[in-house]
Amino acid sequence: MESMRSVGVQPETAPPANRGAHPAVQSKPAILSQATSRDPMIKASRLRKVYHGASEVEALRGVDLEVGRGEMVAIVGPSGSGKTTLLNCLSGLDRLDAGSVIVEGADLSQMSDRERTAYRARHMGFVFQAFNLLPVLTAVENVEIPLLLLGLSGREARRRSLDMLETLGLAHRAGHRPNALSGGEQQRVAVARALIHRPAVVWADEPTGNLDTEVSLVIVELLRTLNADGQTIVLVTHNPQVAERAGRTLRMRDGRVDESPSPASSGA
């Protein structure tokens, strides 16, 4: 697999005010190496994932890839090709059967569940197809979850979350619960939640899958704007319009990555 070049934009990964309060990240695990701005943000080697059921399905068959800092990468492919599995393994949501994933210098494959969880809380943001907002929490409460998990004070978490919602044009909906929001608004809240703690990487699994075309484009433009500000984003999509707005497109087939340059990357 050809190594990916960095787009050269350093995302802001400064910790929240009292980051040390989160017990899981108080001490740096030994498996964390010192990452530099020249290193890729994400480096995956020979990823293999097998699902054991009535019959074994090898979802990932030795995937290698790198994602540079500040890149926006779209993973596309037919259903069952392993897109979501790859995203889950790269983000530490799922365990690997073989291979390694290094995100910002930390080897996720060597971490325990507790360490991976703490690492996700600190360095990653997620946007899901079904929004996955907690239905009993208001928009602003949903957004502040990551900050609370990182140990930020309630007051500070609320202030930052309201700022973020205002940035995304949702300040007037801050006190509403998800069932009172439109699909586009829910997904924007989800994006706000993914970004609120300034993660190193935002993972988005079919972020426009539940939205109509018009709203999908709004969300994609939002992601592009964030990417332009240096945010590393990896997204899985079926939508060609979304994929073509990413800096680079990785095509998956039968558990393998088949890289094809997108117009955006070729033109860069």
Residue ranges that bind other proteins, judged by CB under 8 A: 18, 21-24, 88, 91, 93-94, 113-114, 117-118, 120-122, 126, 128, 130-137, 141, 145-146, 148-154, 177-180, 193, 210
Smallest gap, in angstroms, from Cβ of residue 268 to other proteins? 31
N- to C-terminal Cα separation, the chain = 20
Which C-beta is closer to other proteins: that of 9 or that of 50?
A: 50
Tell me how far, at minimum, the Cβ of 255 lies from other proteins, in Å: 16
- From the list 194, 201, 204, 147, the residue with the least C-alpha distance to 168 is 194
Do residues 64 and 46 lie in contact, with contact meaning Cβ atoms separated by under 8 Å? yes
> Looking at beta carbons only, is 103 or 150 nearer to other proteins?
150
Q: Which amino acid is at 122?
A: R
Least gap, CB of 266 to other proteins (angstroms):
33
CB of 65 to other proteins, least distance (A): 19
Measured from the CB atom, the residue of 1 and 130 that comes closer to other proteins is 130
Cα three-residue angle 228-230-231, rounded to 5 degrees:
100
Between 142 and 249, CB nearer to other proteins: 142
CB of 179 to other proteins, least distance (A): 4
Which of 98, 130 has the CB closer to other proteins? 130
CB of 262 to other proteins, least distance (A): 27
Residue with the two structure tokens 């930390």: 106
Which C-beta is closer to other proteins: that of 148 or that of 215? 148
Bridge-partner residues for 60, per DSSP?
Answer: 49
CB of 195 vs other proteins, minimal distance in Å: 12
Which residue, 142 or 265, is less far from other proteins as judged by CB? 142
User: What does the radius of gyration of the chain's CA atoms come to, in whole angstroms?
Assistant: 18
